[in-house]
Chains A and B, each alone.
Chain A
Amino acid sequence: MIVRFFHQMGSPRYFYGVAGKMIPWFMVGFLVTLLLGIYYGLFVAPADYQQGESYRIMYIHVPAAWMSMFIYVVMAVSGLISLVWRIKMTEVMVISSATVGASFTFLALATGSLWGKPMWGTWWVWDARLTAELLLLFLYLGIIALHSAIEDKRVAARAVSILALVGVVNIPIIHYSVEWWNTLHQPASVTKLGKPSMDMSMLAPLLIMAISFKLYYGAVVLMRARAEIVERERNSRWVMEMVEQEAK
């Protein structure tokens, strides 16, 4: 049954319909968790013993940074499947994820910079963590540029998948940079073995925000994938029929 589900999801027409039904659910989930997370993060969670109120920017920064890596891994896995099995839908997933991923990477860099000025005393330093994350932003931008430079969508998807797979080596480097080298950026508080170095009252809103960002990604990637499907299949019968129905 699971196999059948994946087979059906591999068909652009079926995917288009299912995605259309799923988007509102993702959106509702995103808004509810976002409001909850912001409320608990900004009003309920206590101030930090060292940083005072400034630490609250992490409720945007940390989930955004997690998402920047998570989306890249999704792209690389989709790219692998596209290259080996030549499935159209995973090709669509690779390119639909790129812009959301780039936005989250930018958000992580920008919020980190805003926090760095008062806390560290500088907007930017070239330490291993910050540089590797900046490289990730360039990888995303490179993928977007490469995709739009090639006319044929299937050729473009193959090129982009290879670039995504080459860049995946950067993901462990970002994660472990704070352990392998001396960096100004602090080591991981949550994504490590053992107990998180964060009080539960502060951690709970962070996890809610992380779920919220994931749901947002789900909604946006499905919207972009639907748009991409319609563009790719614009000459097929089902798209034409759908457009005619809409016109009536």
Chain B
Amino acid sequence: MNPIRKKRLILIGLMVAGVGVAAWLTLNAFSDNLMYFFSPSEVAEGKAPTAHPFRIGGLVETNSVKRKSDGLTSAFSVTDNAEAVTVEYTGILPDLFREGQGIVAMGQLNQDGIFIASEVLAKHDENYMPPEVADSLKTAHDKAVNKTQSQAGLQ
């Protein structure tokens, strides 16, 4: 390679590396602001802001969804399998909202530690499968669970 081209290549390499490092430093410095939501554990540790609204994300705990008598308000707990936070929301829930699924809610904690949401978004996971496959996976899972339970019962 002739020296001029080599010099250009090195210069461009330095430029791209420089931009890369700058971007890395910036993103690192703002990494907390880039988090779209806080997890229930972070809320429990007190990392989430108390003075202004924030987002909380996690799975809707199974058998935790309760509807109030007004028909619009629902309460459920959001968990990351370590901590759980109770969320109250008045309004229409998105299509994908269901127990065991991920959600992101925007709102604020009140004095009782209940998260009053102004917006609830469903978070989809990366799994795509036909209903029959989902069914057979569930049946297989239930079978395995029953088996271990009955074995435990025998002992």
Question: Which chain B residues border A80 with CB–CB below 8 Å?
Answer: 12
Q: Which residue of B lies closest to A183 (CB)?
A: B36
In the assembled complex, A227 has its CB within 8 A of some CB on chain B? no
Which A residues from 195 to 246 make CB contacts under 8 A with B?
197-199, 201-203
Q: How far is the CB of B91 from chain A (nearest CB, A)?
A: 10
Q: How far is the CB of A39 from chain B (nearest CB, A)?
A: 17
Q: A50 to B37, Cβ gap below 8 A?
A: no
Interface SS, B side:
mixed
Question: Which chain A residues border B122 with CB–CB below 8 Å?
Answer: 119-121
Q: A169 to B23, Cβ gap below 8 A?
A: yes
Q: B15 to A84, Cβ gap below 8 A?
A: no
Question: Which chain B residues border A187 with CB–CB below 8 Å?
Answer: 125-126
Q: A120 to B96, Cβ gap below 8 A?
A: yes
- Pick the contact of B94: A47, A121, A165, A169 (CB < 8 A): A121
In the assembled complex, B110 has its CB within 8 A of some CB on chain A? no
Question: Which chain A residues border B36 with CB–CB below 8 Å?
Answer: 125, 127-128, 181-184
Question: Which chain A residues border B15 with CB–CB below 8 Å?
Answer: 162, 165-166
Binary flags per residue of A172-190, CB closer than 8 Å to B gives 1, else 0: 0100000011111011110
- Pick the contact of B128: A121, A166, A180, A189 (CB < 8 A): A189
In the assembled complex, A5 has its CB within 8 A of some CB on chain B? no
Q: Which residue of A lies closest to B42 (CB)?
A: A182
Q: Which residue of A lies closest to B5 (CB)?
A: A84
- Pick the contact of B133: A121, A168, A184, A199 (CB < 8 A): A199
Given contacts A120-B96, A166-B15, contact A182 B37 (CB under 8 A): yes
Q: A84 to B9, Cβ gap below 8 A?
A: yes
Question: Which chain B residues border A43 with CB–CB below 8 Å?
Answer: none
Q: A interface, how many residues as a size bin? A: 35 or more
A137, B124: Cα distance in complex, Å = 24
Q: Which residue of A lies closest to B32 (CB)?
A: A181
Q: Which residue of B lies closest to A129 (CB)?
A: B36
In the assembled complex, A144 has its CB within 8 A of some CB on chain B? no
Given contacts A181-B31, A181-B36, contact A51 B124 (CB under 8 A): yes
Q: Which residue of B lies closest to A55 (CB)?
A: B128
Q: How far is the CB of A92 from chain B (nearest CB, A)?
A: 19
Q: B34 to A181, Cβ gap below 8 A?
A: yes
In the assembled complex, B19 has its CB within 8 A of some CB on chain A? yes
Question: Which chain A residues border B124 with CB–CB below 8 Å?
Answer: 50-51, 119-120, 186
In the assembled complex, A118 has its CB within 8 A of some CB on chain B? yes
Q: A47 to B57, Cβ gap below 8 A?
A: no
- Pick the contact of A50: B9, B12, B57, B96 (CB < 8 A): B96
Q: A199 to B19, Cβ gap below 8 A?
A: no
Q: A202 to B12, Cβ gap below 8 A?
A: no
Q: B23 to A173, Cβ gap below 8 A?
A: yes
Binary flags per residue of A24-48, CB closer than 8 Å to B gives 1, else 0: 0000000000000000000000111
Which B residues from 1 to 56 make CB contacts under 8 A with A?
5, 8-9, 12, 15-16, 19-20, 23, 27, 31, 34-39
In the assembled complex, B101 has its CB within 8 A of some CB on chain A? yes
- Complex A-B: 6 CB contacts under 8 Å: A119-B124, A165-B16, A184-B36, A184-B37, A187-B125, A197-B127
Query: Ordered nearest first, which 3 A-B pairs have the shortest CB separation?
Result: A121-B94, A46-B130, A49-B134
